[in-house]
Structure 1
Amino acid sequence: MEHLISGEAHDPHALLGAHPAGAGTVIRTLRRGAGDVAVVVDDVAYPATRVHPEGIFEAEVPGAVVDYRIRVDGVVYDDPYRHLPTVGELDLHLLAEGRHERLWMMLGARSREGGAAFAVWAPNARGVRVVGDFTGWGAHDGWPMRSLGSSGVWEIFVPGAQPGQRYKYRILGADGGWRDKADPMATRAEVPPATASVIHRSDYQWGDQQWLDRRVGGAPHQQPVSIYEVHLGSWRPGLGYRELADQLAEYVQELGFTHVELLPVMEHPFGGSWGYQVTGYYAPTARFGDPDDFRAFVDRLHAAGIGVLLDWVPAHFPRDEWALARFDGTALYEHDDPRRGEHPDWGTLVFNYGRAEVRNFLVANALYWFDEFHIDGLRVDAVASMLYLDYSREDGQWLPNIHGGRENLDAMSLLQEVNATVYKHHPGVLMVAEESTAWPGVTRPTDHDGLGFGFKWNMGWMHDTLDYLSKDPVHRQYHHNQLTFSTVYAWSEHYILPISHDEVVHGKGSLVGKMPGDSWRQLATTRALLAFMWAHPGKQLLFMGCELADPQEWSEQRGLDWGLRHDPARAGMGRLVRDLNHAYRDTSALWTRDTEPDGFRWIIGDDAAHNTIGFQRAGQDGSALICVVNFAATPFEGYRVGLPWEGAWRELLNTDAAEYGGSNVGNFGQVYAEPVPWQGLPASAVMTLPPLGALWLQPA
């Protein structure tokens, strides 16, 4: 009894509950603070005697009894200690192997008829209690949980625990200290800054089966993918998931994007981290509603024909003492050695990717968002920090792998398993890596020794292009290779071209603010950039607010400046993004052969003196699109451009059009290709190139 009261009992059910005693049954119960306690069997009450001053009561009843209730000061309750374990042997076996793909169905708080089952992995704990609204939150409250052998899992069924009630695990650590911990597997959390977990049972009825059926047969590499990146808290502040769904779906439909990508929606305590310091990997943030509200958000976007991608952060987690850090008094989820277990840049902890249960936690978490929320893809954050043991570390601050190298073999294995598992269960989705180095085979299949991602962010294209455009046009001729170098490696991986939130914060300025010159030149250069980006091999991603030509860099503390949509000088940017997206979706040459070198041909690649480039995109159906971009501040008249066919070519798009805020320099909507060979092509046309402008041409 002292062992139980002190919190160190590994099997409270061995003492509490019903136990044979000769011809009868002894029933013990833990009821701290109770006065009058009785055991009720078949409506007969048997008075219980206090056998320990801290609130253990005992009664002997005749016969063999398994079904009973406890009456406490006149109120009848069910007893947690009359219930069998809620976790099966197969579950424990799969967890030990790191192969339980639906881990959330085993661990966490699972609402059931009559109560809730709780299970938590804490192998080094000396004792675990579950505390909550159903027990009280005092220092001595909580139901002691039983340990299921060497699995490290502690479990209990708590009668009467209801959805919406808060809870935590009170853990007596291996170091002798007590900690109240949020549930690592909680599917719902309190609204920050509160930190408790919340019991949740979903009753949401999905309406997107047709969307999911179509997705199965999809091949994203050969389909149009243009992504609108969103931070939910600052897109339109004050809205919940359901309101955001309606307004965002309408807006994204208007702009023509195929997908939205959300900065992490997993629960995080510090809003200023934008979601990148996650504490609740299985819980959508409560800032905007409950998990079913988020299900409705995804469902609404699917109804509008828009896919939903989520940022996912398996690279690190924060040190908050109530969360994953030193969960059972030991380095459980993280490495104990700081040379492997800490991030010097971010002050956070690194998962122990080599531990089977930790790997299982992350693989199942990736699958969870697809299974439970019908999402269409994950963009995995900071992959480079996972892959390199010496990432942001000096000599002596990191440990090599077993071969003496700097590659994190455990992280490689984890990423391969995540991708293979997701694609096995959900073909047609997008798994995307933010990987900023030249690590080979990021998008190569796992059975060919690749990491198995579907796409990789093309950080090289983004850095080179933005650096080129930051220079005054008179100096760009000396940096022309920054525009063309991306095609040297454009087909080494399956790429997404990102202009993301990272490029418009922390003093980097807004997208238009990066461009030199007066406001007109800044806007014109940005329009030309977007047309170049949409025509370049690869899919594209644009962060919210860039389409508004916002002159201020983004801050999560303020919403977007929607008034810019009515600013005559800037409203054209949104119209251009809309037209780019719709033209892109209607032009198969821009996406059916995205991953094939034969789908691209340079026409003008070496005209550095004019800051001009031109190229052809070719579709599987033999269609073509020509993109010509003049990044000089002056127009060029009489400029001959090689074309693959004679005849009329129409200006599908001109970023200098007046409706976009341009000077309306162009070719009156059409050019005519003569049988004059030029630039290696059999025909050519003389045309006018607008200043800081881009043209898209198609056969008329």
Structure 2
Amino acid sequence: MALRDTTLPQPTSAARRGTAPPLDPADRGRLLAGAHHDPHALLGAHVVPGGVAVRALRPFARAVSVVVDGKRIPLVSEGDGLFSGVLPRRRKIPAYKLLVAYEDGEHEVEDPYRFLPALGELDLHLIREGRHEQLWRALGAEPMVHQGVAGTRFTVWAPNAQGVRVAADFTYWDGTAFPMRSLGASGVWELFLPGVAEGTKYKFEIHSRHGHRFLKADPMARYAEVPPDTASIVHSSRYEWGDAEWMAHRGDVPVHVAPFSVYEVHLPSWRPGLSYRELAEVLPAYVRDLGFTHVEFMPVAHHPFSGSWGYQITGFYAPMAKLGTPDDFKFLIDSLHRAGIGVIMDWVPAHFPKDDWALARFDGEPLYEPGDARRAEHPDWGTYEFDFGRVEVRNFLVANAVYWCEEFHIDGLRVDAVASMLYLDYSRDSGQWAPNVYGGREDLDAVAFLREMNATVYRRAPGVVTIAEESTAWEGVTRPTDSGGLGFGLKWNMGWMHDSLGYISHEPVHRKYHHNEMTFSMVYAYSENYVLPISHDEVVHGKQALVSKMPGDWWQQRANHRAYLGFMWAHPGKQLLFMGQEFAQGAEWSEPEGPHWWLLDPQYGAEADHRGVRDLVRDLNSAYRATPALWQRDTDPGGFRWVIGDAADDNVFGFLRYAVDGTPLLAVSNFSPVVRDDYRIWVPEDGPVWEETLNTDAARYGGGDITNPGPIKPEEDGIRITLPPLATVWLTPYPC
């Protein structure tokens, strides 16, 4: 008698009938409800007694068959879109496909549930540890070839979810057919979908532990629909960069000892209607012509409401889609680099909006936001704050900073609202906040996050600078992390901005009572590495444009404007100027309108008016870049010396700046509307013969052309020059 092969499972009655063993009713219910943690254990092919069982979940299908070795084996309907059958007398799972019949015909497809996880153990370990510095390569939608088949791997972090499914345009936003599997303690859910290509629109359908089901955009999406549509889009970059020379040398000179003059731009409104690629045709040339070293983009990450100007972000890994694709955005950055211009990007890690399709209560619970209501909501902006104490959230943000620097070649991150992160009681009254473990008001988790972000970015992206918008007296914002600081490269000097704008807005007759507002900045000028910012925040919401803050008639306003810019460019610290202020636009910035470019048209008298101010900005930048005294020693007290600091009655200020080799520049500002002839200025006795190299009152800038021609020789008591009204003059050593 022949012996039975005991290595083969014995067929069950269900197998002998050609159907797979029935599902446990509880498993079936959770699977159909989208609340099962391991759909791969129920779907796909599995060895059973008598052969290989195949089960497919295909809602709305009329029939499903398995195709093996060119043979078609029909599956039996189990109801609710489930189909199953057994491939008899098979010891292992064969290569197979599904043939799915719908009303429009039959479709041969790969079975997603025959694939192993497409995410490795190292990735999962790093995610659990909160140390995956390239998180975007592990989470989100990643087109790839997996087990020899092209498709897209979907992964999402949702640790509190009972189940997660992929819903897409090709499923008509019904996620029933594509439940994802949980990858254990990492909180990550994964599914590889064969045949899903770039351009596919998708969301994640979350089933919360409270029984609610809802659709969420992918937190890691690299491309998204144009608002008001909210789906994520599968994307893979194919951009070929042309900025190798720039990237190789951008860090040759540390930023604090290099020229750094920034033009701040709101991309959608700089030239309304232009795409990223169209902007690339005009923006680099404009910025280069004016001599700025960098542009700073107001936030470009995906945001649904244009009126937020990008400061309420829902897609931290996706450039805003209304101006083009991610590769189009790369083209703009590449074009700026090839024009010799660095790119800084506003980055907003402090908070995010409450849109129900985005990060808020992502898996039905507070996830990206703190669970403590006293810390979850930002009282000023109606948004959620990030939970900086959760390692996965910190990882999400740190990796995001790295992402923009590595994938988009961003040269700097200006970090928004740092003060709101640092203090637990920021904009909160007593009883609305809880102290830290030491009883203080400092948010120790946020401090740790900022240090980690800065240290990681500087390590991974040489030549990048991080810049803090921090409005308090927090000590050590730009001190290295290994010395106890926050680790930023630069900090916005909000004190200088506030004081100097306050001074310049007074009528000249009253300025003597506010003289210290222009000199006080030098008391703390070397406590941090500073940027002097005249940003978008200062020219909106009733604050008026820069020129409109100035007193007097239109001529005096423009003269004040020019004199202020001359003072700003000479003052220690880097400088930033918002678009429109470079040609003295009189109206506040309006996001729908953008700058009033028509003011530069000669028919409006622009040659001696707005164009004159723009010509001054060009010359300021040109002289600035050519004069090491104005930037080499910005962080060195030895690079500055007052020569006129107490002339309050005259409204006059004067100071020397020194280069590393000792070469000086003398800057003198007269903020009164009178000419001061033969004005004595003390300079060192062993100083050089001087010449005037810049005068904001020059006729070509729209001024009265009161200048100091020829060499100016020092006398026993200094030098004597004529100070034009409402003007700044720069003097440098006369060439021998």
TM-score tier (shorter): over 0.9
Farther off after superposition, 79-88 or 563-572:
563-572
2:62 corresponds to: 35
Q: Are 1:589 and 2:623 an aligned pair?
A: no
* Preserved CA contact (<8 Å) 1:499 1:542: yes
Q: How does 1:567-606 map to 2 (within 5 A)?
A: 567=606, 568-606=608-646
1:97 corresponds to: 129
Q: CA deviation at 1:647?
A: 4.9
* Preserved CA contact (<8 Å) 1:524 1:693: yes
After superposition, give the CA deviation of every residue in 1:441-498 in whole Å (9 maximum; x if it has no partner): 0000000110000000000000000000110000000110000000000000000000
* Preserved CA contact (<8 Å) 2:693 2:732: yes
Q: Matched residues in 1 for 2:94 and 2:160: separation?
A: 32
Q: Are 1:559 and 2:578 an aligned pair?
A: no
Q: Are 1:71 and 2:94 an aligned pair?
A: no
* Preserved CA contact (<8 Å) 2:61 2:81: no
Task: Give the aligned residue type for 2:708.
Answer: N
After superposition, give the CA deviation of every residue in 1:483-519 in whole Å (9 maximum; x if it has no partner): 0000000000000000000000000010000011111
Q: Are 1:9 and 2:59 an aligned pair?
A: no
Q: How does 1:541-552 map to 2 (within 5 A)?
A: 541-552=576-587
Larger Rg: 2
1:662 to 679, 703, 711: 703
1:681 corresponds to: none
Secondary structure at 1:143's aligned position in 2? coil
2:720 corresponds to: 686
Q: CA deviation at 1:59?
A: 3.7
After superposition, give the CA deviation of every residue in 1:68-94 in whole Å (9 maximum; x if it has no partner): 110012321011101110111111111
2:714 corresponds to: 673
Secondary structure at 1:203's aligned position in 2? coil
1:338 corresponds to: 373
Task: Give the aligned residue type for 1:410.
Answer: D
Quickly say closer, same or farther: Cα 1:66–1:259, change in 2 above 3 A. Answer: farther
1:110 to 142, 167, 170: 142
Task: Give the aligned residue type for 1:117.
Answer: R
Task: Give the aligned residue type for 2:669.
Answer: V
Q: CA deviation at 1:23?
A: 4.8
Q: Matched residues in 2 for 1:187 and 1:669: separation?
A: 59
1:463 corresponds to: 498
Q: How does 1:391-402 map to 2 (within 5 A)?
A: 391-402=426-437
Gaps of 5+ in 2: 1-27
2:72 to 45, 51, 62: 45
Q: Are 1:436 and 2:466 an aligned pair?
A: no
Secondary structure at 2:250's aligned position in 1? helix
Gaps of 5+ in 1: 678-683
Quickly say closer, same or farther: Cα 1:61–1:600, change in 2 above 3 A. Answer: farther
Q: Are 1:512 and 2:540 an aligned pair?
A: no
Q: CA deviation at 1:8?
A: 1.0
1:24 corresponds to: 51
2:234 to 194, 199, 210: 199
* Preserved CA contact (<8 Å) 1:334 1:351: yes
* Preserved CA contact (<8 Å) 1:208 1:303: yes
Secondary structure at 2:32's aligned position in 1? helix
1:119 corresponds to: 155
Q: Matched residues in 2 for 1:377 and 1:647: separation?
A: 39
Task: Give the aligned residue type for 2:87.
Answer: E
Q: CA deviation at 1:669?
A: 5.0
1:240 to 265, 275, 279: 275
Equivalent pairs: percent with the same residue? 59
1:680 corresponds to: none
Quickly say closer, same or farther: Cα 1:66–1:261, change in 2 above 3 A. Answer: farther
Q: CA deviation at 1:141?
A: 4.0
Q: Matched residues in 1 for 2:373 and 2:711: separation?
A: 64
Q: How does 1:230-379 map to 2 (within 5 A)?
A: 230-379=265-414
TM-score by length of 1: 0.98
Q: Matched residues in 1 for 2:94 and 2:482: separation?
A: 53
Quickly say closer, same or farther: Cα 1:556–1:142, change in 2 above 3 A. Answer: farther
1:129 corresponds to: 165
Q: Matched residues in 2 for 1:597 and 1:368: separation?
A: 36
Task: Give the aligned residue type for 2:93.
Answer: V
* Preserved CA contact (<8 Å) 1:46 1:61: no
Q: Matched residues in 2 for 1:322 and 1:660: separation?
A: 52
Q: Matched residues in 2 for 1:558 and 1:61: separation?
A: 70
Secondary structure at 2:351's aligned position in 1? coil
Q: Matched residues in 2 for 1:694 and 1:174: separation?
A: 67
Task: Give the aligned residue type for 2:724.
Answer: P
Secondary structure at 1:329's aligned position in 2? coil
Task: Give the aligned residue type for 2:730.
Answer: W
* Preserved CA contact (<8 Å) 1:654 1:696: yes
After superposition, give the CA deviation of every residue in 1:626-647 in whole Å (9 maximum; x if it has no partner): 0000001111001011223455
Q: Matched residues in 2 for 1:391 and 1:61: separation?
A: 68
Secondary structure at 1:664's aligned position in 2? coil
1:650 corresponds to: 691
Q: Matched residues in 2 for 1:292 and 1:635: separation?
A: 55
Q: Are 1:491 and 2:526 an aligned pair?
A: yes
Quickly say closer, same or farther: Cα 1:662–1:330, change in 2 above 3 A. Answer: same
Q: Matched residues in 2 for 1:364 and 1:62: separation?
A: 50
* Preserved CA contact (<8 Å) 2:153 2:190: yes
Q: Matched residues in 2 for 1:58 and 1:436: separation?
A: 67
2:509 corresponds to: 474
Q: Matched residues in 2 for 1:137 and 1:581: separation?
A: 53
Quickly say closer, same or farther: Cα 1:61–1:278, change in 2 above 3 A. Answer: farther
* Preserved CA contact (<8 Å) 1:377 1:431: yes
Q: Are 1:80 and 2:116 an aligned pair?
A: no
Secondary structure at 2:649's aligned position in 1? helix
2:82 to 43, 48, 55: 55
Secondary structure at 1:91's aligned position in 2? helix
Q: CA deviation at 1:133?
A: 2.1
* Preserved CA contact (<8 Å) 1:187 1:291: yes
Quickly say closer, same or farther: Cα 1:598–1:61, change in 2 above 3 A. Answer: farther
* Preserved CA contact (<8 Å) 2:265 2:578: yes
Quickly say closer, same or farther: Cα 1:647–1:91, change in 2 above 3 A. Answer: closer
Q: Matched residues in 2 for 1:23 and 1:163: separation?
A: 41
* Preserved CA contact (<8 Å) 1:224 1:584: yes
Q: CA deviation at 1:135?
A: 2.3
Task: Give the aligned residue type for 1:41.
Answer: V
Q: Matched residues in 1 for 2:182 and 2:496: separation?
A: 53
1:698 corresponds to: 732
Secondary structure at 2:317's aligned position in 1? strand
Task: Give the aligned residue type for 2:98.
Answer: I
TM-score by length of 2: 0.93
Secondary structure at 1:602's aligned position in 2? strand
* Preserved CA contact (<8 Å) 2:59 2:177: no
